[in-house]
Structures are given as C-alpha cells and as structure tokens.
Structure 1
C-alpha cells in the first residue's frame, strides 16, 4: 500500500520554523509534499490571486537525504492549495495540514487566518484538513513540546476521517517547554478585537496608519478554545465553511420580502 500523501502548507512562508517542524513530524506518517508561500502571508484570510500572475518553483530548503518535494508560491495560502491540487501534485492528498502558525488562531482569529484558510480551501475540495497554530508569535518559538500531540491528531484524522464539510482548527498553548496537559475538543469562543489605528507621518511627510489593538474575550464558558488554552490544553475546534446561519432563516422568512 502507498503511504498517505500529506500536503503541507502555511502562511508564514516556506522557511518558517513552524513549517519545518510540521514537515519533520508529518514525515513520520506518510509521504510529504510542501507547497507554501515564498514570503509571509499572515492575516490574508481566504484571499486568492485573480488579477496578477502567480509564480511557483521547486525549491530545496532541506538538503538532507529523504527530504520532501517542496514548492514555493508567490500567492496566498489558499493559492498554494489550489495550485497544489490542480498543477503540482500527481495524486489527491489524503490530508492537508497547515502550520504550524507562529501565533494563535483561536476564537475570532480564525476569520483572518491564512493558516486556516489554506486548510479550508482543501476542505472545500473534499480533502481532510487541519490547521495548527502555536500561541507564540516569536520566530524562535519552541514547537517541540507540541509535536507528539500534532502527530497523534493527524494520525487519528487519517485513520478515522474528518466529518464532511468540516476542518479542524487546532491551537496549542505556549507551555515554556513542558508538554501540553492534553487535548480538548471545544467550541470557538466569542470574542473580538478592540482595534485602533496609530496615525504616523513618514519621513516624506505622508500620513500613514498602523493597526493595533487587543483581544477582548466575551465568553466565560469552560467549553471554549480560549478556556482550554488558558488551562494549558490543546484546543481542537471543528470548523465548518458553510456560513449559513440556519437558525436565522425562519425569522428572515417572516419579513415582507415578496410584498409589493
């Protein structure tokens, strides 16, 4: 039997340490092919390239024997998955894993995440997919304590499948070198960003703006991703890409939409 084909991507760029850690871990489970952005694409969400050219080339980042095939892409994380499935791969991957992101994608952050959008793009194509994020924005973050848990989650997904129309959003707490306490399946916490724009002036005299802000947790539940992370657990949130608010359909149907 062929080994499972694992498509690995991210949004921090093809040289990011989180991606390299994920590649090493996935090589223990199957055949790995990497298609990742050639530069950081954080916060790109599900953007795709439609009005400019898209470039890709085979690259060698890992010079060790047995290193996987790797391709850099000039586009977004979603572009990387599209290109992999339509052009670069000779068979459909058994799973797509995205990450390991340098920074959290819990709660509302999932909406903005390039990491998760890559996973969602694979999910739209019917491919089991998981996005992994570590709650540490440092380029030199320590990914080692989380790798066994990541391997376990992917192995279980390969063995059991992921429910149709669903991808997994996995966030990993920063644990200062200790392994996480365990894994909890959670719901997405309700929260948002209290944002502001710092107004500044460039040396040439032009005004520009720098987005800043802080996350505001609006959810005190003990079944959420934010709660699990605060307690030292890995959070696994099944995330759907059908954005229909089914509970709202009866109310909207009561509007006088068809009366003239």
Structure 2
C-alpha cells in the first residue's frame, strides 16, 4: 500500500519537535498509516488553542533518524493550534483522516483542560471536522514538565495512543464526540484497564504566583496539585487517573453550551 492510500495521520504536540513523547507516538502510529510529524519549533506548553499574531509561521523541513527510521518532519513557528492549521492547509497533500496531539509530558485532566496546548491542537483539528486524539502521560514530578526527559518511558502511553487511533480510524467518533482526551498514569502498563470518564469540575493545577520583588519586576506563575478523592466524582478523569490509577479516556465536544433546559430557563428569567 502506497503512502497516499494509507490512512493519513497528522501528529503534533505542544512540547516541541524534539520531544521524546512525540517520537514515541510517531513510531506507534506508523503501523496504522502514513504519519506527518508537524510540531511546534519551540516549547509552547500551556498555550491552549491560542493563535497569537506574534507567531512567525515559518516552516522548517528536515529529516531525522528516529529508531532506525528516517522521518520527514516539519517544525513550525507557532502554537499547537497554528501548527494544525499549517499542517492541514499547507503541508499535507490531502486532509488527514486523524490528528493526534501528544504524547504530552504531563497530564491534562479537570478544569485545566482549556489551558493545555495538547488539547488545544486537538480542538483545532475537531473544529475543522477532523477526528482527533489528545494524549498525555502523567508526571512523576510536576516541576519537570518543561523538560525533554530521555529517562521517561512513553511506551505504555504509545500503546494506548495506537489503540484508540486504530479504533477511531476504523469506526470514527460517535455523534457529539469531536475528540478523545486520554490521560495515562505514569506507572501504567499496556494491561492497565481504561475507563470512559467525564471532566472533573475541579481545577487540577492550582496556580501559584512566585514574586520576590515589587510588581514592576518579573514574576512566574507556577502550579501545584491540591485535590482529595472526595472532591471529584468517581467517574471523572481526575479520580480515575489520580486515585484509581486507570487510563482515563474522556470524550469531548466542541459544543460548550451548558446542558440546561434552555426554554425553561429563558421562561423563568423573562418572568422576573
């Protein structure tokens, strides 16, 4: 089967083109289709689905030897969402059958999900009508999330990436599911069970401002974890990942409209 007739997969991330997680995903997905590796030139974690006008949009094409295989890769000056735009509209000769974002070095559960560049790339693909996965591996040490760690084992996360990519390529996504968000515990194995979950109504990464001088001087916003089992629903992504130590698979929809009875609410408010 030629490259053009195999399923076309666009792979990106928010950790940058040199991330080991990106290449673990590339190798796993290459058994399913032809993989276009198109990732940010720089580390842009926490960029959400942003499209800042300051991005330069430069595309650098190169070939890298990864795992004994030569890959054509594209490093793009932009956020993950912008990389998806460039990948779909400029780089790929035809629209992809699937966009995969990850494997991110760091989990993305709960209400912090909209901050994630990993999820942002998948949201951008979904907005273009393309099925998407956003895959993240839990950190053992939250302070290392900006590092390209060679000692991190992405093999289990790669297994689940390929597992759900194959399912989506084969079956598509159900109605009102635009992307799947997958969070893998750092100590999971390919035999670890997975569970369909919902977003926890809890801010997973609690922001902390580190400032040592007056307001006019620079400050850093960092994050820490502060959640207990009783604060999150048992069927949520946070509970499943943190406390049950299972792989969390969360179907997400682009429709962020509240699931409230709109006619009843409108009638009540208009009677005030």
The one of 230, 250, 261 equivalent to 1:237 is 250
Residue from 126, 133, 148 that aligns with 2:136: 133
1:208 paired with 2:218, answer yes
Q: TM-score, normalised by structure 1?
A: 0.89
Q: Paired residue for 2:161?
A: 150
1:172 corresponding residue in structure 2: 184
**Residues in 1 aligned to 2:103 and 2:23: alpha-carbon distance in whole angstroms:** 8
Q: Quick one: which of 52, 59, 62 aligns to 1:59?
A: 62
**Uncovered stretches (5+) of structure 1, i.e. residues with no partner:** none
Match of 2:117 in 1: 114
Structure 1 runs of 4+ aligned residues shifted over 6 Å read none
Mapped contact 1:191–1:216 kept (Cα < 8 A): no
Cα RMSD after superposing both structures: 2.4
- Give yes or no for the alignment of 1:226 onto 2:226: no
- State yes or no: 1:78 paired with 2:78: no
Q: Secondary structure at the match of 1:49?
A: coil
Compare 9-18 and 238-247 and name the one that shifted more.
238-247
Q: 1:12: which partner in 2? A: 15
Q: For residue 44 of structure 1, report the CA deviation from its aligned partner.
A: 0.3
SS at match of 1:141: coil
Listed one character per residue, the Cα deviations across residues 39-62 of structure 1 (whole Å, up to 9, x for unaligned) are: 111000011133553211212232
Change (3 A) 1:111 1:224: same
In the alignment, which residue of structure 1 is the partner of 2:142?
Answer: none
Offset at 1:252? 4.5
Cα distance change on mapping 1:65 and 1:145 into 2, 3 Å: closer
- Are 1:247 and 2:260 an aligned pair? yes
> So what's the TM-score if we normalise by structure 2?
0.85
**Alignment CA distance shift 1:164-1:255 (3 Å):** same
What SS is found at the alignment partner of 1:191?
A: coil
Query: Displacement of 1:12 after TM fit?
Result: 0.1
